[in-house]
């Protein structure tokens, strides 16, 4: 599905990512974990086209999308769900979701897509007229995910969906993710909640200081001493 | 170190002295128009420098310099009109009164930051203009006030006198800018302009430095207004508070290079004569040409002329 | 002696309570670690101590005197300085000027310049001295943040995630650097995500979650508590 | 008399609001202060004048005919003059560029149409209707109603269409909008075009009740700025509310104080809002 | 480097601009608003000056020397006008300055003329103070603001008041807030009504900003006061809006009258949609209309420029004729001496023109002011034509009152 071949990337002259190589198969759910500032978000932004890599290539279904602007990568089926609360705060919940059907090919499916998201997150339907900025953190996160799903993507890039949420909410969001994966959605999940992420995904990459320091099945990574040390200080 | 800070001041002083002899070389009596342009250039250098101290050094973009100029101009005119002061004597007071007005303006406008600050200065300038228009018994309203300058220390008022006075006032403005640039204060200005939150967290009293910049800037702008009023011999609200006094220093500084001492000088020396030549050679088309010059400059050298040089300390 | 005392501190943004009824005492001369998941109120705590945010309820004492109402810059002059998680440098200025600015507040220009060069060397920024701050990488910017804050001669230094974006090989020197600052007598409040750093550095550790204190004590011991592991690492971990 | 004054205040307020919308949209989305806003209004007035004078087309219709031309004009200006400026310099450089363009437009208009004052005198220009004891001239009434319709129409465009939502999304968060598939660059170009169209349409609608000359633009700019601040930058409903409040406040001030007090009144309102509610009357976040 | 070259080229250009071309002509400096809000008036005066100068040059000029007009744009701003005047005097070596349209500009230029000993002939700026400063180089051929209302006062006292048969008539006065409006209010209209308190009651007297968009609140206030007479001092654009909005709010009075300026321009009738029908306008007259020369001039103007000339056109045209006449007394070749000779010759001038007799006198505190009380008239708009109705000897028809 997605293949990243040795990319370097960063902001202006500042290089954040060094020689990243990564592969995701169709229908797979892959976790990307690492400490704050390791370059996780930068990687997602590079895939989504918000940052142009200075070296290397990114292939989506065997075609290069490297250097494509975000509105083109999204047309090709990549949905980036940004971290934190980057919903369109002054727009209503429904307007936010409809932004997910901005692409011409998605517009005809507007009603079904809305139905699907409202079924996944009934809370959003209750508040569809409410201004997004007045939602709680968890609801905003649901909205951001829902908005990404409205795009009917081939590949979802999820950036810290559990950020700042209470455990109960995290659980419910994770259940949704699990269900979507069961339905065949390909996902790259960035998480700081290592345990959670690794329990959900079968495979993971560990990134530190812009480099992939480890990859493999989740269980292996969870057992690794180095990872434990980084995260638990044990 | 000591030498490095004295050198530019010495150069400035030498330039001023040398230029002061110009009237002996080029006769102001037969080149009145040329001296008129020199005068406008000098005064505009002072105004652009004044704007630059606030907008460039301290990063507080003001849209209200027309207000300062107007207050300065009216100070001279009204002291002359009501109390028969010599306009020349009233000049320093133009700066002082404008500074006092800036104390009020600053206390209101500095409650705001960024574009809101800029817009509030615009509004305050308009309010002062409306006061000048409305308070007829004091300001003569829209009818305006005549100022007859008379001689200064028995030097007859005329091209040479205006030239030398405006030259030294411009020099004074540049000196203020230089002294700030060479002092510690310039760093605090820079810090406040670049990132006010960071400056605060490092212990810099940002409000104090913003006010200092405003006060110096308003003092110089007020003097500019005073000289303009002496030179024109007449002041009314539409010419004293003309939006040109706000807009012109901004783009001249931008063209020359914002935040540098030389930027406003270069911008003014380069563009003001062009504007004047256009105006007298193409009475109807000059704004069109000037507009094109502005667009071309801004489009192709957005960082200003000083931005073209790598080293741009001064 | 406690350099900082926080009593019943509450900070609310509208309805959202970022810090709630917090009581903390920080001894002079230690590194005091603050950890917790994102959104736990760590940065808000720093903002409140430095006066960037006003207190909703409670009080803050610095060296025994109430500073709750002082403006940010005065607290900085009293000796409380912070670094920002997202570096807040003077991006248009050079690294040298960035460090010089706080020094100029209390030293004559020449001395300040010497001191700035010295600090830059100590903070591994010697090679970048004449670069514009906007040209630096994130990791270097973090160093610059620290250098700037150090240049104010703080008594209490609040460090917000210094390790984010710092390369692995750099991390150890940074740890040593922070230790040496403590050994100079500067009290440090350290907010950090990288646990090995926290454990290596902190003399005392507080864990926050949803603006509340859930654990306090020696780092090794605190990290083993069940509620900490649950809050921080995910509920099924323990 | 008081009802008449308030009704008239509301009617002129609607026109003020329309004058401000183009400015507020461009500022809201791109943080650009468009200095040639007044000149765009002026060009809209001339376009209406020419079509009325030569072909007898009512300005109320011709504003829609000329809209595409102004859209292209605005888009070209943004694409070739403002967009290439590096982001760090854009805020202030765009000020100079748009100022330069305002000079170019005003002088060009003088060459094309001479400095003469023009008016659009509609066949029913003297007809008056009476509404709650208030006499309202037909042109004033239609222009105000058109303004209201345009504002509502624009509101609907911004809230109900994909493009309108994309513009707002871009204003709120460029990056996130772009990953939704919004071509942010194109939307910026289009928004600038739309801002110019709105200014020109305001000019067209104003033409039957005002006069036209090449330098008329400067008359509107400060008023438009005042409303943008009153209503909150980037807000359409804010512009509407701000326009009406300004219209009514001016009318009341000029009646109960002196007529010349009305401008001071406007600025006192302006400063008051800036100081106590810098986000505008409707305040809070940037809203539609 | 590019900029160094550019700036040196520009500097050279500047120096070359000093070189006066076309020597051997009488150069006349015309600072005028060629751009900006007053550009329309700048064009009017340019047409008038050019027509007169062309006619004189076609006949061989003055004593064989041709006239040359040098225009400078002032944007109607005093500061720019001062700069222009200095340039015209020093680098173009003009022998005299003309006009400038607005009172504010003339007020500022007059001291420059004095400093440079250059005659300055006013044909339109009307503020009284300009010729009350003992400035020997300033000459004014047309009435001042204080004189503007001379014919109107006469008309109201002799025709309107007796006809109304009321003890006291109520009057509303609205005037534009600028040097001109203030002048007419301060020296003309307000003193007149105050002086005749027994006959008139000034119920509203307010000024307005010339760029206002909406006058209805003011007009509603006037309507509420129900005046018998409404006097307006306006320029053109504000005059048009006022006339339209007066109709709109339904303000009615026995008499509406303007005081020259906007109200005596053809545009106001047409562009207000004929809303000024029956309006009176009192101000400088359109010239000696009974004079055969005037009729000839007027048809020549209409042929050349395709519109009916008003006071501005007559004034501009006559100003050039006055200068040409005075220039006959200039004999020397040095421009400084020429200016002195021109001044002396202007002082001695007594000339019959289509505008009326022009003779510059010192009286009542005025210096070099043409006694132009009689050059004011009351005219009235009827069926799209503004014709003089008062004083009787200059009337083209009976007033419709």
State the DSSP string of chain B.
Answer: -HHHHHHHHHHHHHHHHHHHTHHHHS-TTT-HHHHHHHHHHHHHHHHHHHHHIIIIIS----S-HHHHHHHHHHHHHHHHHHH---HHHHHHHHHHHHHHHHHHHHHHHTTS-HHHHHHHHHHHHHHHHHHHHH-HHHH-GGG-EE-----BTTBPSSHHHHHHHHHHHHHHHHHHHHHHHHSTHHHHHHHHHH-HHHHHHTT--HHHHHHHHHHHHHHHHHHHHHHHHHHHSEE-HHHHT-THHHHHHHHHHHHH-TTSSHHHHHHHHHHHHHHHHHHHH-TTTHHHHHHHHHHHHHHH-TT-GGGGSS----
Test the C interface: residue of B56, B203, B307 with most C CBs within 10 Å: B203
**Distance, C-alpha B263 to centroid of its chain:** 13
Contact C81 B1 (CB under 8 A): no
According to the model, what pLDDT value does residue E344 have? 92
Angle between helix D2-30 and D162-172 (nearest 10): 70
Quickly count helices (H) and strands (E) in chain D. Answer: 11, 2
According to the model, what pLDDT value does residue E21 have? 44
Contact E91 B33 (CB under 8 A): yes
Give the chain C residue whose CA is nearest to the CA of A232: C195
Closest listed residue to residue D211, CA positions, set D141, D105, D99, D121: D121
Does residue A220 have a pLDDT over 80? yes
Residues E169, C20: Cα–Cα separation, whole Å: 77
Residues B272, A122: Cα–Cα separation, whole Å: 66
Residues E390, E386: Cα–Cα separation, whole Å: 12
Query: What is the domain partition of chain E in residue ranges?
Result: 2-145+291-373, 147-287+376-394
Does residue B30 have a pLDDT over 50? yes
Neighbours of B161 (CB within 10 A): 21
Confidence class of residue B118 from pLDDT cuts 50, 70 and 90?
A: confident
According to the model, what pLDDT value does residue E19 have? 44
Question: Which candidate from C91, C93, C102 shows the least CB-CB separation from B202?
Answer: C102
Nearest-Cα distance to chain D for B118, in Å, is 11
Tokens of E174: 């609205």
Tokens of A112: 């079904």
Does residue E52 have a pLDDT over 90? yes
Residues E324, A147: Cα–Cα separation, whole Å: 82
User: How much is the average pLDDT of B255-267?
Assistant: 89
Q: Which residue has the tokens 């009321």?
A: E166
Contact B228 E90 (CB under 8 A): no
Query: What is the bridge-based pairing of β-strands C156-160 and C187-191?
Result: parallel
According to the model, what pLDDT value does residue C187 have? 92
Nearest-Cα distance to chain B for C181, in Å, is 18
Tokens of E199: 């006959």
According to the model, what pLDDT value does residue E138 have? 93
Q: State whether ipTM is beyond 0.85.
A: no
Tokens of E337: 């001496």
User: How much is the average pLDDT of E158-175?
Assistant: 86
CA angle E33, D223, B221 (to 5 degrees): 65
> Does D89 or C213 have the greater pLDDT score?
C213
Does residue B248 have a pLDDT over 80? yes
Residue B202: list chain C partners with CB under 8 A. 73, 76, 81, 101-102, 105, 148-149, 151-152
Range in A147-156, D24-33, E135-144 with the lowest mean pLDDT = D24-33
The four Cα atoms E94, E97, E102, E104 give a dihedral, to 10 degrees, of 90
Closest listed residue to residue B301, CA positions, set B246, B256, B262, B235: B256
> Which listed CATH number (3.30.750.24, 3.40.50.720, 3.30.70.580, 3.40.50.2300) goes with E147-287+376-394?
3.40.50.2300
Nearest-Cα distance to chain B for E29, in Å, is 12
pLDDT tens sequence across C124-142? 888 888 888 877 777 788 8
Contact C234 A194 (CB under 8 A): yes
Mean pLDDT of chain B: 86
pLDDT tens sequence across E341-380? 999 999 999 998 888 888 999 988 889 998 887 788 888 8
Give the chain C residue whose CA is nearest to the CA of B183: C109
Residues E188, E125: Cα–Cα separation, whole Å: 15
Contact E182 B280 (CB under 8 A): no
pLDDT tens sequence across D7-60? 888 998 999 999 999 998 888 878 888 889 999 999 999 999 999 999 989 899
Query: What is the domain partition of chain D in residue ranges?
Result: 2-14+26-32+39-217
% chain E with pLDDT above 90: 24
* Physical contact, A and C (3 or more Cβ pairs within 8 A): yes
The four Cα atoms B182, B183, B184, B188 give a dihedral, to 10 degrees, of -80
Confidence class of residue D225 from pLDDT cuts 50, 70 and 90?
A: confident
Give the chain A residue whose CA is nearest to the CA of C41: A164
Confidence class of residue B52 from pLDDT cuts 50, 70 and 90?
A: very high
Question: Which candidate from B184, B194, B202 shows the least CB-CB separation from C81?
Answer: B202
Q: Is C194 within 8 Å of chain A by CB?
A: yes
User: How much is the average pLDDT of C84-105?
Assistant: 87
Question: Which candidate from E213, E217, E273 shows the least CB-CB separation from D5?
Answer: E217
Tokens of E384: 């799209």
Can you name the CATH fold of E2-145+291-373? Answer: Rossmann fold (3.40.50)
The four Cα atoms E318, E320, E322, E325 give a dihedral, to 10 degrees, of -130
Q: E107 by DSSP, 3-state: which?
A: helix
Residues E171, C40: Cα–Cα separation, whole Å: 75
User: How much is the average pLDDT of B185-193?
Assistant: 90
According to the model, what pLDDT value does residue C232 have? 61
pTM of the model: 0.83
Q: Is D54 within 8 Å of chain A by CB?
A: no
pLDDT tens sequence across A160-187? 887 666 666 777 788 888 888 888 889 9
Confidence class of residue E8 from pLDDT cuts 50, 70 and 90?
A: low
Q: Indicate the DSSP class of residue E289.
A: T
pLDDT tens sequence across C30-42? 899 988 776 678 8
% chain A with pLDDT above 90: 8
Confidence class of residue B1 from pLDDT cuts 50, 70 and 90?
A: very low
Does residue E55 have a pLDDT over 70? yes
User: How much is the average pLDDT of C218-235?
Assistant: 73
Alpha helices in D114-217 (DSSP H): 138-160, 162-172, 174-179, 184-206
Residues E352, E342: Cα–Cα separation, whole Å: 18
Does residue B311 have a pLDDT over 90? no
- Chain E residues within 8 angstroms (CB to CB) of chain D: 35-37, 39-40, 42-43, 177, 206-209, 211-214, 216-218, 220-221, 224, 236-237, 240-241, 244-245, 247-250, 267, 270-275
Closest listed residue to residue B47, CA positions, set B19, B22, B67: B67
Tokens of E379: 């005219």
User: How much is the average pLDDT of E331-336?
Assistant: 87
Element (H, E) at E139: strand E138-140
Most confident of D185-199, E196-210, E269-283: D185-199
Test the D interface: residue of E35, E74, E240, E244 with most D CBs within 10 Å: E244
Does residue A106 have a pLDDT over 70? yes
According to the model, what pLDDT value does residue A160 have? 82
Q: Is B107 within 8 Å of chain E by CB?
A: no
> Does D215 or C16 have the greater pLDDT score?
D215
Find all residues with CB under 8 Å of D57, minimum gap 6, and list them: D51, D65
Residues B73, B90: Cα–Cα separation, whole Å: 10
Secondary structure (DSSP) of C4-15: EEEEEEEEEETT
Nearest-Cα distance to chain B for E397, in Å, is 36
Residue B302: list chain D partners with CB under 8 A. 85-86, 89-90, 93
Tokens of D209: 């009740």
Residues B258, B269: Cα–Cα separation, whole Å: 15
Give the chain B residue whose CA is nearest to the CA of E181: B143
User: How much is the average pLDDT of B182-199?
Assistant: 89
**Distance, C-alpha A95 to centroid of its chain:** 21
Please tell me the CATH superfamily of domain B35-243, with its number.
ABC transporter involved in vitamin B12 uptake, BtuC (1.10.3470.10)
Mean pLDDT of chain A: 84
Contact D260 E211 (CB under 8 A): no
Q: Is B283 within 8 Å of chain E by CB?
A: yes
Residues C55, C51: Cα–Cα separation, whole Å: 8
Residues C42, C39: Cα–Cα separation, whole Å: 7
- Cβ distance B101 to B128 under 8 Å? yes
According to the model, what pLDDT value does residue A234 have? 42
Residues D211, D204: Cα–Cα separation, whole Å: 11
Tokens of B247: 């807009």
Contact B284 E86 (CB under 8 A): no
Confidence class of residue E22 from pLDDT cuts 50, 70 and 90?
A: very low
According to the model, what pLDDT value does residue B215 have? 95
């Amino acid at each position: 599905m997605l293949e990243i071949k040795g990319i370097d990337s960063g902001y202006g002259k500042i290089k954040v990512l060094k020689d990243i190589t990564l592969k995701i198969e169709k229908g797979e759910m892959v976790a990307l974990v690492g400490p704050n500032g390791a370059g996780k978000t930068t990687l997602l932004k590079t895939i989504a086209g918000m940052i142009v890599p200075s070296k290397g290539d990114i292939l989506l279904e065997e075609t290069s999308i490297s250097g494509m602007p975000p509105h083109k990568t999204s047309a090709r089926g990549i949905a980036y769900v940004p971290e934190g609360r980057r919903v369109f705060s002054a727009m209503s919940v429904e307007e936010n979701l409809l932004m997910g059907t901005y692409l011409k090919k998605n517009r005809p499916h507007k009603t079904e897509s809305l139905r699907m998201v409202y079924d996944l997150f009934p809370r959003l339907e209750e508040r569809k007229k409410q201004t997004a900025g007045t939602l709680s953190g968890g609801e905003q996160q649901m909205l951001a995910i829902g908005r990404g799903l409205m795009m009917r993507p081939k590949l979802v890039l999820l950036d810290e969906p559990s950020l700042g949420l209470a455990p109960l909410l995290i659980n419910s969001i994770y259940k949704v993710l699990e269900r979507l994966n069961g339905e065949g959605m390909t996902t790259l999940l960035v998480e700081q909640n290592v345990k959670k992420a690794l329990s959900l995904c079968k495979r993971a990459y560990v990134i530190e200081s812009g480099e992939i320091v480890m990859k493999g099945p989740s269980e292996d990574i969870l057992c690794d001493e180095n990872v434990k040390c980084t995260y638990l200080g044990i | 170190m000591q030498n490095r800070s004295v050198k530019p001041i010495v150069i400035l002083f030498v330039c001023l002295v040398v230029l002061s002899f110009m009237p002996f070389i080029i006769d102001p009596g037969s080149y009145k128009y040329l001296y008129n342009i020199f005068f406008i250039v000098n005064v505009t250098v002072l105004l652009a420098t004044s704007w630059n101290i606030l907008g460039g050094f301290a990063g507080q973009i003001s849209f209200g310099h027309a207000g300062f100029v107007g207050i300065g101009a009216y100070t001279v005119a009204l002291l002359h009109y009501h109390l028969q002061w010599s306009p020349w004597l009233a000049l320093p007071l133009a700066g002082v009164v404008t500074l006092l007005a800036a104390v009020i303006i600053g206390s209101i406008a500095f409650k705001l930051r960024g574009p809101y600050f800029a817009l509030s200065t615009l509004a305050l300038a308009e309010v002062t203009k409306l006061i000048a228009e409305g308070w007829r018994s004091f300001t003569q309203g829209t009818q305006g006030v005549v100022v007859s300058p008379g001689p200064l220390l028995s030097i007859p008022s005329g091209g040479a006198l205006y030239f030398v006075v405006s030259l030294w006032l411009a020099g004074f403005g540049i000196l203020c800018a230089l002294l700030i640039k060479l002092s510690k204060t310039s760093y605090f200005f820079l810090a406040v302009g670049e990132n006010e939150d960071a400056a605060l967290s490092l212990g810099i009293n940002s409000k104090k430095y913003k006010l200092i910049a405003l006060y110096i800037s308003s003092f110089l702008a007020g003097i500019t207004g005073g000289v303009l009023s002496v030179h024109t011999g007449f002041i009314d609200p539409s010419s004293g508070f003309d939006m040109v006094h706000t807009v012109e220093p901004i783009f001249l500084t931008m063209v020359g290079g914002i935040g540098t001492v030389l930027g406003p000088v270069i911008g003014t020396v380069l563009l003001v004569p062009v504007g004047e030549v256009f105006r007298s050679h193409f009475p109807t088309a000059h704004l069109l040409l000037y507009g094109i010059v502005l667009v071309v400059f801004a489009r192709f050298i957005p960082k200003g002329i000083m931005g073209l040089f790598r080293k741009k300390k001064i | 002696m406690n350099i900082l005392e926080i009593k019943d501190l509450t900070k609310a943004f509208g309805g959202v309570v970022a810090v709630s009824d917090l009581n903390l005492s920080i001894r002079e001369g230690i590194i005091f670690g603050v950890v917790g998941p994102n959104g736990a109120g760590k940065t808000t705590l720093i903002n409140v101590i430095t006066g960037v945010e006003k207190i909703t309820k409670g009080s803050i004492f610095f060296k025994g005197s109430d500073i709750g109402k002082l403006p940010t810059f005065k607290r900085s002059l009293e000796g409380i300085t912070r670094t920002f998680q997202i570096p807040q440098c003077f991006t248009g200025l050079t690294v040298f000027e960035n460090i010089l600015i706080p020094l100029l507040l209390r030293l004559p220009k020449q001395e300040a310049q010497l001191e700035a060069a010295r600090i830059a060397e100590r903070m591994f920024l010697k090679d970048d001295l004449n670069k514009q701050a906007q040209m630096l990488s994130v990791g270097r910017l973090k160093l610059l943040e620290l250098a700037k804050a150090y240049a104010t001669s703080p008594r209490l230094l609040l460090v917000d995630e210094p390790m984010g974006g710092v390369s692995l090989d750099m991390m150890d020197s940074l740890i040593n650097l922070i230790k040496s600052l403590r050994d100079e007598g500067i009290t440090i409040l350290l907010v950090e995500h990288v646990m090995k750093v926290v454990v290596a550095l902190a003399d005392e550790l507080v864990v926050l979650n949803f603006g509340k204190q859930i654990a306090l004590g020696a780092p090794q011991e605190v990290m083993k508590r069940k509620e900490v592991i649950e809050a921080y690492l995910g509920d099924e971990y323990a | 008399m008081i009802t008449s004054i308030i009704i008239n205040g509301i009617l002129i307020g609607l026109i003020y609001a329309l004058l401000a919308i183009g400015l507020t949209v461009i500022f809201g989305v791109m943080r650009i202060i468009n200095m040639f806003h007044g000149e765009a209004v002026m060009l809209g007035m001339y376009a209406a004048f020419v079509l009325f004078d030569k072909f007898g087309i009512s300005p109320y219709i011709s504003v829609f005919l000329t809209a595409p031309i102004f859209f292209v004009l605005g888009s070209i200006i943004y694409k070739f003059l403002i967009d290439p400026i590096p982001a760090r310099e854009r805020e202030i450089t765009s000020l100079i560029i748009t100022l330069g363009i305002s000079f170019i437009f005003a002088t060009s208009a003088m060459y094309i149409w001479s400095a003469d004052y023009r008016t659009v005198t509609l066949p029913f220009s003297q007809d008056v209707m009476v509404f709650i004891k208030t006499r309202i001239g037909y042109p004033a009434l239609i222009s105000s109603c058109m303004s209201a319709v345009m504002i509502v129409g624009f509101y609907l465009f911004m809230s109900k269409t994909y493009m309108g939502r994309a513009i707002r999304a871009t204003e709120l968060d460029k990056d996130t909008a772009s990953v939704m598939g919004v071509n942010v660059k194109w939307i910026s170009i289009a928004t600038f075009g739309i801002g110019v169209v709105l200014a020109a349409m305001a000019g067209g609608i104003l033409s039957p009740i005002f006069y036209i000359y090449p330098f008329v633009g400067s008359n509107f700019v400060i008023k438009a700025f005042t409303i943008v601040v009153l209503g909150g930058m980037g807000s359409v409903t804010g512009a509407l509310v701000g326009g009406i409040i300004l219209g009514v406040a001016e009318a009341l001030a000029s009646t109960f104080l002196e007529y010349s007090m009305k401008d001071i009144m406007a600025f006192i309102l302006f400063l008051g809002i800036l100081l106590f509610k810098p986000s505008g009357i409707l305040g809070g976040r940037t809203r539609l | 480097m590019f900029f160094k070259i550019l700036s040196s080229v520009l500097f050279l250009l500047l120096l070359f601009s000093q070189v006066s071309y076309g020597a051997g002509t009488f150069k006349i400096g015309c600072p005028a608003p060629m751009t900006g809000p007053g550009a329309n008036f700048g064009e009017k005066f340019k047409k008038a000056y050019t027509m007169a100068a062309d006619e004189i040059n076609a006949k061989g000029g003055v004593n064989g020397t041709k006239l040359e007009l040098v225009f400078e744009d002032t944007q109607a701003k005093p500061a720019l006008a001062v700069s222009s005047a200095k340039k015209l005097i020093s680098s173009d070596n003009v022998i005299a300055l003309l006009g400038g349209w607005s009172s504010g500009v003339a007020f500022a230029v007059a001291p420059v003329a004095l400093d440079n000993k250059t005659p300055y002939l006013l044909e339109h700026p009307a503020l009284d103070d300009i010729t009350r400063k003992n400035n020997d180089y300033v000459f004014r051929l047309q009435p001042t603001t204080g004189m503007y209302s001379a014919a109107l006062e006469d008309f109201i006292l002799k025709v309107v008041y007796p006809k109304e048969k009321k003890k006291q008539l109520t009057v509303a006065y609205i005037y534009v807030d600028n040097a001109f409006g203030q002048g007419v209010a301060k020296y003309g209209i307000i003193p007149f009504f105050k002086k005749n308190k027994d006959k008139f009651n000034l119920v509203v007297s307010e000024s307005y900003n010339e760029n206002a968009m909406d006058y209805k609140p003011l007009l509603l206030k006037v309507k509420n006061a129900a005046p018998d007479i409404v006097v307006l001092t306006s320029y053109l654009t504000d005059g048009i809006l006022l006339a339209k909005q007066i109709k709109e709010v339904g303000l009615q009075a026995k008499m509406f009258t303007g005081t020259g300026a906007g109200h005596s321009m053809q545009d106001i009738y047409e562009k207000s949609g004929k809303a000024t029908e029956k309006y009176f306008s009192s101000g400088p007259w359109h010239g000696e209309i009974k004079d055969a020369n005037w009729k000839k001039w007027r048809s020549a103007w209409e042929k050349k420029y395709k519109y009916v000339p008003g006071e501005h056109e007559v004034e501009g045209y006559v100003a050039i004729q006055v200068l040409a006449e005075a220039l006959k007394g200039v004999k020397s070749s040095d421009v400084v001496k020429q200016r002195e000779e021109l001044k002396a010759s202007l002082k001695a001038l007594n000339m019959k023109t289509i505008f009326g007799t022009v003779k510059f006198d010192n009286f009542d505190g005025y210096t070099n002011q043409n006694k132009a009380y009689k050059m004011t008239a009351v005219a009235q708009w009827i069926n799209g034509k503004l014709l003089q109705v008062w004083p009787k000897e200059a009337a083209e028809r009976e007033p419709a009152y």
